[in-house]
Amino acid sequence: MIIDMPGTTTNDVNKRLVKLRDEGGAVALGRVLTLVIDVGTSDVEEAVAAANDASREHPCRVIVLAEGGGTEDGLDAEIRVGGDAGASEVVVLRPSGALRLHGDTLVIPLLLPDAPIVAWWPYDAPENPAEHPVGRMAQRRITDSTECSNPLDTLERLSTAYQPGDTDLAWTRITLWRGLLAAALDQPPYESVTRALVAGESTHPSVDLLAAWLAQQLRCPVEIERQPDAPAITQVRLERRSGEIVLDRPDGKTAALRQPGQPEHRIALPIRQLRECLAEELRRLDADEVYADVLTKGMARLP
């Protein structure tokens, strides 16, 4: 069910949410957090669809800030519950005029009491997420440098502005790669890696973050091979005295793991979808210390 509320106020929106709860159409008691999504002028539906899917694992209230089309001060709102909101309740706020500058003020009356707040920028990342008006309210702040116009510059900027609680979905996209590589290295002969190579799409930030993770954890030279139009990360090579460990995924779907003295292993390793990454990040509300080290120290180790 979608309820349109043109020319409204956050007070009226809140009253309508309470009425819906009292009528049994939406239950706020089971919500575990408030997810605030700032889409700016970009599309609302893709972000809401990902949040709805993630809400089946993490029931929440989703508040979306989207820029309104008018020049006069005003607020249009939309409430989605039931089948249009997954396991959440979605409030879309479209401020116009001067109200665009006060997104935090609009959000505050709609926050769930005593529930953690997560801020997510699915498109353009703010200069400093922790100092953004919405980011200051949140325990966790999620950006997605993959969707920015210049992903690698965005990563560099995020590294200088990092505060505990920040994370980026380009980092979440390499969780499976990190797990497979760590498992491969946690087997005999336990030799040091002397050199590493990460190959992948030219401007994909996950390529740089994976290379920075290897450089930070293994303390070895890491080379990046940039491939135009590749499907994200395509290959990782770890050189050791006994031979190379190679994790190869040329098609973006299935990877081959090759190690000295072992048969080749075929592993399903599809490119992770947005909803998977968002759900993973919503599982934790504490600071990601590994991401912090990789972003602030590991990136500096890359050539």
Structure confidence by residue, pLDDT tens digits, 9-18: 999 999 998 8
Which residue(s) pair with 265 in the sheet? 257
pLDDT confidence tier of residue 30, bands split at 50, 70 and 90 = low
Q: Are 170 and 183 in contact, with CB atoms under 8 Å apart?
A: no
Query: What is the tens place of the pLDDT at every residue in 38-63?
Result: 999 999 999 999 999 999 898 999 99
Query: What is the tens place of the pLDDT at every residue in 97-108?
Result: 999 999 999 999
pTM for the full predicted model: 0.94
Quick one: which of 82, 106, 60, 74 has its CA closest to 2? Answer: 82
How large is the average pLDDT for residues 62-78?
A: 92
Backbone angles phi, psi at 125, to 5 degrees: -85, 140
Residue 65 has pLDDT above 80, yes or no: yes
Q: Are 104 and 136 in contact, with CB atoms under 8 Å apart?
A: yes
- Tell the residue number behind the tokens 């009425």, with chain if given: 19
Q: Are 246 and 179 in contact, with CB atoms under 8 Å apart?
A: no
pLDDT at 18: 87
What is the C-alpha separation between 45 and 51, in angstroms, rounded? Answer: 10
Tokens of 59: 């029931």
Quick one: which of 115, 136, 171 has its CA closest to 288? Answer: 171
Percentage of residues in the chain having pLDDT higher than 70: 97
pLDDT at 192: 96
Count of residues making up the chain: 303
Residue 23 has pLDDT above 80, yes or no: no
Residue 26 has pLDDT above 60, yes or no: no
Instruction: Report the mean per-residue pLDDT for the chain.
Output: 94
How large is the average pLDDT for residues 131-156?
A: 97
pLDDT confidence tier of residue 69, bands split at 50, 70 and 90 = confident
Q: Pick the residue with more confidence: 21 or 269?
A: 269
pLDDT confidence tier of residue 85, bands split at 50, 70 and 90 = low
What is the C-alpha separation between 133 and 105, in angstroms, rounded? Answer: 9
What is the C-alpha separation between 260 and 228, in angstroms, rounded? Answer: 30
Tokens of 111: 């926050």
The structural domains of the chain, with segments of one domain joined by +, span: 2-168, 175-271
Asked if omega into 116 is within 30° of 0 (cis), the reply is: no
What is the C-alpha separation between 53 and 68, in angstroms, rounded? Answer: 25
